[in-house]
Structure 1
Amino acid sequence: MKLIEKYFPNLLDQQIYRLSSLKNLYMYWNAYVNLVSRKTFHDFYQQHVLFCLGIAKVFYFYPGSCVLDLGTGGGFPGIPLSIIFPHTKFILVDSIRKKIKIIEKIIDNLHLKNVYPIWIRAEKLENKFDFVVTRAVNKIDIIHNWIKDKFKYKSNYKIINGTFYLKGGNLYDELKKFPHAIEYPLNHYFEEPFFITKKVVWISNI
């Protein structure tokens, strides 16, 4: 948790409490459903929480915005981001029902009022969103096809509505079809070696 406070020194007490509660909650529920890889659990705050909060380093979600967390899995990046942006609405979707059921319990425990988990496939969603966030769900072109019609027509931001992808490694092939994509290397924001190859990729919905 000290790692989170290092890079987000202006957190409110409630945000610190919620973020510091995450590891124990996931440790408990991971015994029932594999929400977080057990191989990476020892580095929970770096590899899961801080990595997801990389999006908060490159973008600020306005209060009242609606954000879709596509293929949320164990609730990442939606839950950490919802704590940082308590006045933004986060819709967490996944096709695996048992994961959504556990996420509901974690959200209740943290008393998060801006997070709504839904058991559904992304293609079947009828809602429209300002932004989408996603972490390593699939290749970018596949995800883009799933969500290309899920955005609100009007943007309340200076940028067009679109998607933030949390990615690692060489993305040259994945981004060939998206020449307008913007890459934000996370080692510009976080000094730990883990982030050398990690990026936030922004792609508008057009």
Structure 2
Amino acid sequence: MEIISKYFPDLSEEQHRQFAALYDLYTDWNAKINVISRKDIENLYEHHVLHSLGIARIIRFRSGSNVMDLGTGGGFPGIPLAILFPETKFHLVDSIGKKVRVATEVANSIGLKNVTFRHARAEEEKQKFDFVVSRAVMPLSDLIKIIKKNISVKQQNSIPNGLICLKGGELENEAMPFKNKTVMYNLNEEFDEEFFKTKKVVYVAI
């Protein structure tokens, strides 16, 4: 938990309490339904929570924004972002029901009021959002194809609506088709830990 306070020193008491509760909740749920690699659970705050919050280093969502977390798994990046931005609505979608259940239970346990959940494939989600966020495993072009229909035309943030995803490794070729609309941020410029050496936040205006 110290690692979160180190980079986000202005948390309210409530946010502090919510972040602090995540470790026991995920450890408990992970023993029943595997949403985080068993070896990785002790790195929850660095590899999952702080990684999710990397998105907050490039945008502070305005109050009233609407954000979809696609392929949320156990609730990343959606739940950490929902704690950090209590005035923003987050809609967490995953095609695997038991993962959605874990995310729902965790959110309920910490009293998150600004999240909704849906067990569905991305293609089935028809609502409109300012941004889609994702810890993306699929290539950017596939992701953009799926979520284009979900991006609202109404603008209310400091950057145009679009996709913001967490990715690692070499992304130049993947981003090539969208190069005029893409900005990449290296998380090693934001966070000192070795884990973030190759991690990026990729933003594509849509």
Same fold (TM over 0.5): yes
The corresponding residue for 2:82 is 82
Distance, in Å, in 2 between the alignment partners of 1:165 and 1:36 is 19
On the 8 A contact 1:71/1:137 being kept in 2, the answer is no
For residue 98 of structure 1, report the CA deviation from its aligned partner.
1.2
For residue 41 of structure 1, report the CA deviation from its aligned partner.
1.4
SS class of match (2:184):
strand
For residue 169 of structure 1, report the CA deviation from its aligned partner.
0.7
State the identity as a percent: 47
For residue 92 of structure 1, report the CA deviation from its aligned partner.
0.1
Count of equivalent residues: 205
Distance, in Å, in 2 between the alignment partners of 1:65 and 1:17 is 24
- Higher mean C-alpha displacement, 37-46 vs 88-97: 37-46
The corresponding residue for 2:57 is 57
The corresponding residue for 1:167 is 167
On the 8 A contact 2:151/2:162 being kept in 1, the answer is yes
For residue 157 of structure 1, report the CA deviation from its aligned partner.
2.4
Distance, in Å, in 2 between the alignment partners of 1:42 and 1:22 is 12
What is the TM-score with the length of structure 2 in the denominator?
0.97
> Gaps spanning 5+ residues in structure 1: where?
none
> Gaps spanning 5+ residues in structure 2: where?
none
The corresponding residue for 1:191 is 192
More helix by share: 2
SS class of match (1:157):
coil
- Structure 1 runs (4+) greater than 2 angstroms displaced: none
SS class of match (2:149):
coil
What is the TM-score with the length of structure 1 in the denominator?
0.97
**CA RMSD, 1 decimal:** 0.9
**Is residue 2:135 matched to residue 1:147?**
no
Distance, in Å, in 1 between the alignment partners of 2:4 and 2:164 is 20
The corresponding residue for 1:67 is 67
For residue 159 of structure 1, report the CA deviation from its aligned partner.
2.5
On the 8 A contact 2:61/2:157 being kept in 1, the answer is no
